[in-house]
Amino acid sequence: MSRLLIRAALALMLTIPVWAQLDLAPLAAEYRAAEAASKGGWGESASADSGTLGWGEGALLQDYAAMWEATADVYWLEKIARHFDRIMANASDPDGDGFLSWQTKSYSSAVAFAERLSNVSDAKIAPEQQKNTNGAAAAKCEGHTYLIEFQTGPAHFRIRDRNSGRVLADNVAYQSGAKITQIEPFRFSISGQPHQGDRFLIRTIAPEALEYAVHQGMFVYPVAVFIEAVKTRPALQPKFGADAERFLAFVLRHVFEKNEEDWLDLGESGGYRFMPRITDRMPNRIMPHNQYATLARTWLVLKDVPGVPPLVGRRAAQMVRFFHDHLELDAAHDAYRWYYSDWIEYGQTQRSRFEDTSHACLNVCLAIEASRRGVLFNDAELRRIANTWLAVMWNQDSANPQMAAAVDGRKPYTFSALTSGWTQLSQWDRRVYELAGKAFQAGEKKKRWQHIPELLLSAKRAGVLTP
């Protein structure tokens, strides 16, 4: 089907009435009242866990930034400032590297190493190294050292915890190749014919509290919006000037400079790598697109702020280039698709499956921020991303709009047309806003307040918001 026919078909199917204007005041008041009543208006700002801060508090702070853009009410700047004060207060430096940050064990792995000692027999233990990335299972790892011992002969063995002296299992009948499951969450097997006195050593590493750039970007991006607003609007200086200076110094030192340690430079492009910690799921690998994207768009906001070093803008441009270079053209729909992750390992280019809808919103937000700030992405390319949403991912049902599970249109249709981030594409195609409005109207009334910031921002970007 030609592009013109596709566009015509979309126009015919999209029967939602165009909202000429959206009444701002009552929706803004509804959100303000409901948000203040939820968790005392403090969200998750008191947490020290980076996962909670990123996905919980970060989403809330981004709502505040959306409300600021939509309403120009300084109340939302005040909210960002006071929340970030609490977030900074919980930053710590457990590894003693001189940088403050936030950590979580939620995504950390449990690791085990197995070896045979100076045994009489040539019986072997396998695997020599294994990693468990399942959060609940990995949490069972104690980080202890264990011995599998054939004390009395080759027919039986015991398993002993060297740290506590506790015997996990005793007089276990030996069978070559059988799974040994007592050292949770791992699985080992010994093969061959052991001899009395043989011992096998198991060393385990429990999940560690690690730092994640994606979490930092989620809650620091709204702070960047705050800093830019204050430092470029003289009227805001008396109230917020000191906060803006303090926040900028903190972000440049403890977020930007800190993450430079994990920068991978690829010339005109580049990205952040995961920490070189063995308990990380993918130590030292360049991050998936959604994970570096959150800091990339933060640096896009800050790059032209007075007092920000030029390297901040360069890093932003390199990450934008890295994502841009990995987009694939879907010519049939004049749209783009992309993968969750593209990386190079041992000199070989690797990639995952196509990006899922929820993580893709972070990639989309990066492209939107880049285009709005004149970095690489142009309007035609953003219209292609809008086509990904409208022509590839939408179920083409205007009465019950739903979106596919991934950017290649993969089923099932489970996502709302009001999905965060995607709705900002209304700047390039107003139908995005109209679908979001339909989803908002059809949503559960008692929860609709949570979606007001996204709806208002979509309306603002579409140019249909009445102050």
| Each residue's pLDDT expressed in tens, for the chain with a length of 467 residues | 445 444 544 444 443 444 445 789 999 999 999 999 999 999 999 999 999 999 999 999 999 999 999 999 999 999 999 999 999 999 999 999 999 999 999 999 999 999 999 999 999 999 999 999 999 999 999 999 999 999 999 999 999 999 999 999 999 999 999 999 999 999 999 999 999 999 999 999 999 999 999 999 999 999 999 999 999 999 999 999 999 999 999 999 999 999 999 999 999 999 999 999 999 999 999 999 999 999 999 999 999 999 999 999 999 999 999 999 999 999 999 999 999 999 999 999 999 999 999 999 999 999 999 999 999 999 999 999 999 999 999 999 998 999 999 999 999 999 999 999 999 999 999 999 999 999 999 988 889 999 999 999 999 999 998 76
Strand partners, 201: 115, 147
Q: Are 343 and 285 in contact (CB under 8 A)?
A: yes
Q: What percent of the chain lies above the pLDDT cut of 90?
A: 93
Domain boundaries, the chain: 3-104+211-466, 110-205
What was the pLDDT predicted at 10? 44
What was the pLDDT predicted at 23? 84
What was the pLDDT predicted at 417? 97
Residues 6+ apart with CB under 8 A from 445: none
The 3 state secondary structure assigned to 377-440 is CCHHHHHHHHHHHHHHHECCCCCCCEECCECCCCCCCCEECCCCCHHHHHHCCHHHHHHHHHHH
What architecture does CATH give domain 3-104+211-466? Alpha/alpha barrel (1.50)
Q: Are 123 and 190 in contact (CB under 8 A)?
A: yes
Burial letters 43-77, b for 16+ CB under 10 A, else e: bbbebebbbbbbebbbbbbbbbbbbbbbbeebebb
What was the pLDDT predicted at 317? 98
Nearest to 212 by CA among 117, 72, 103, 367: 103
DSSP code, position 40 = G
Residues 6+ apart with CB under 8 A from 380: none
Nearest to 87 by CA among 204, 215, 187: 215
Evaluate if pTM is beyond 0.85.
yes
DSSP code, position 41 = G
**What are the tens digits of pLDDT across the range 300-340?**
999 999 999 999 999 999 999 999 999 999 999 999 999 99
3-state secondary structure of 124: strand
Residues 6+ apart with CB under 8 A from 182: 159, 168, 169
What was the pLDDT predicted at 443? 87
What was the pLDDT predicted at 467? 64
Distances (CA, A) of 32 to 41, 121, 219, 355: 9, 72, 20, 34
Tokens of 77: 């700047």
Burial letters 314-337, b for 16+ CB under 10 A, else e: ebbbbbbbbbbebbeebeebbbbb
Helix (H) or strand (E) holding 77: helix 75-89
Half-sphere exposure of 401 (CA within 13 A, CB side): 29
Q: How many whole angstroms separate alpha carbon 295 and alpha carbon 255? A: 9
